[in-house]
Amino acid sequence: MTPRAHEVKVRDVVAETGDAVTVSFDIPEDLAPRFRYQPGQFLTVRVPSDRTGSVARCYSLSSSPHCEDRLAVTVKRTAGGYGSNWICDNLESGDLIGVLEPAGVFTPRSLDEDLLLFAAGSGVTPIMSIAKSVLAAGTGDVVVVYANRDADAVIFGNEFDRLTQRFPQRLTVRHWLENERGLPTVAGLVELARDHRDHDVFLCGPTGFTAVTLAALGQLGIPEQRVHREQYRSLTDNPFEHTAPAATPTPTGAGKDTATVRVEIDGETHMLNWPRDTKLLDMLLDHGIDAPYVCRESACGTCVCSVKSGRTRMLMNESLIDDELAAGLTLACQTLPESDQLHIAFDQ
Ligand SMILES: Cc1cc2nc3c(=O)[nH]c(=O)nc-3n(C[C@H](O)[C@H](O)[C@H](O)COP(=O)(O)OP(=O)(O)OC[C@H]3O[C@@H](n4cnc5c(N)ncnc54)[C@H](O)[C@@H]3O)c2cc1C
């Protein structure tokens, strides 16, 4: 099991709607530094399974590091799904459960910027964390466009009402209920977003909602590259069931065409040979270096790192936007070397 996995105690489980619960955790004091997080990040939960030992499922933190001392995720049942139903049916206060440390890049750069947040269904969890954080600790204005099947399906309805009363000048929440208005439309979303096109955009919801929102933003002249997106999906990989990295480096790259890379991670510096056909994350794990990762498919952003010098290329990228790429960020699980000498830092 990766050293980034820990067993933590469930503090409580609270029903939000008929099919969603918020699970909060007690983090022991010695682990508190490892569980610091930014609004919009997620935890990966180890869900026990008789069939496979466990499955790993990601859940965005719905709590805010700026106004709550607890960490909490909010899980909505997926029809026929294994992990979400197991959590909703089984987890109780006092249970111990395996989780990976917080991760992800779906986070605002500054809490002082104005934000336009789009959520549908359980996609509201990181949106709630971001909204609460900006209101409590920043100066930005927040506009939330939130789509649901009907009023009963709205998660955090009361909390949004309370926040709107407390911050009437800074928070606007626009609900879109499908039983009243049908599925969200491009024209309808354009209308709701029209006055906020200069805001930074965060979007989290199912594929159909994402597509219609991107089309609306496109009509408003907001390019996809400016839109931060979180895509919910179940992991195929399981970081909880992998064996710990080897203690001594294996001779990865011996006799192969390699680049030379200096890697800074967890306060240590490693000089390594990096085979040109091997992804950065795989090369580090081969050397017994405990690099952070969850999905290995470029979707979750956990393995994000900075290219300080040298050129690299990514095979796939589903989580970094243009600004982040321009700032030199890359995803270790998809990165190959181009230059002969490189310098990479896990400093995000
Ligand atoms: C970054 C990120 C953040 C997310 N945040 C949230 C969030 O805040 N809230 C939220 O609700 N969701 C969130 N999700 C989605 C979440 O991770 C899951 O994808 C979702 O809960 C559905 O998982 P599921 O296991 O219930 O369903 P599925 O993945 O559809 O479950 C079915 C799968 O489980 C397998 N399976 C069935 N039975 C068993 C068994 N006994 N043992 C082992 N495997 C079995 C099946 O083969 C099938 O592959 C997030 C996803 C990501 C990537």
Using one digit for the tens of pLDDT, what is the confidence trace for 119-144? 999 999 999 999 999 999 999 999 99
| Lowest-confidence pick of 185-199, 241-255, 258-272 | 241-255
Confidence of residue 102 (pLDDT cuts 50, 70, 90): very high
Closest protein CA for atom 18 of ligand 1: 234
Give the separation between CA 145 and CA 176, rounded to whole angstroms: 7
Query: In the prediction, which pLDDT does 248 show?
Result: 44
Q: Which atom of ligand 1 is nearest to the CA of 78?
A: 26
The residue to mutate among 54, 57, 74, 296, having the most atoms of ligand 1 within 8 angstroms of its beta carbon, is 57
pLDDT of 243 strictly over 80: no
How does strand 5-17 pair with strand 96-103?
Answer: antiparallel
Nearest to 40, CA basis, from 156, 146, 129: 129
State in Å: Cα 78 to ligand 1 middle.
7
CATH 3.40.50.80 residue spans of the chain: 115-230
State in Å: Cα 128 to ligand 1 middle.
20
Pick the CATH number of 115-230 from 3.40.640.10, 1.10.3730.10, 1.10.1040.10, 3.40.50.80: 3.40.50.80
Per-residue pLDDT, averaged over 29-54, amounts to 95
What are φ and ψ of residue 112, in 5° steps?
A: -100, 0
Give the separation between CA 231 and CA 324, rounded to whole angstroms: 18
CATH 2.40.30.10 residue spans of the chain: 5-103
Query: In the prediction, which pLDDT does 318 show?
Result: 87
* DSSP calls for 122-145: GGHHHHHHHHHHHHHH----EEEE
pLDDT of 261 strictly over 90: yes
Q: Which residues pair with 98 in a beta bridge?
A: 7, 46
The CATH class, in words, for 258-345 is alpha beta
CATH 3.10.20.30 residue spans of the chain: 258-345
Per-residue pLDDT, averaged over 134-158, amounts to 97
pLDDT of 88 strictly over 50: yes
The CATH T-level fold of domain 5-103 is Elongation Factor Tu (Ef-tu); domain 3 (2.40.30)
Ligand 1 is surrounded, with C-beta below 6 A, by 42, 49, 51-52, 55, 57-60, 73-76, 78, 81-85, 104, 122, 125, 230, 232-234, 300
Confidence of residue 254 (pLDDT cuts 50, 70, 90): low
Helix (H) or strand (E) holding 55: strand 53-60
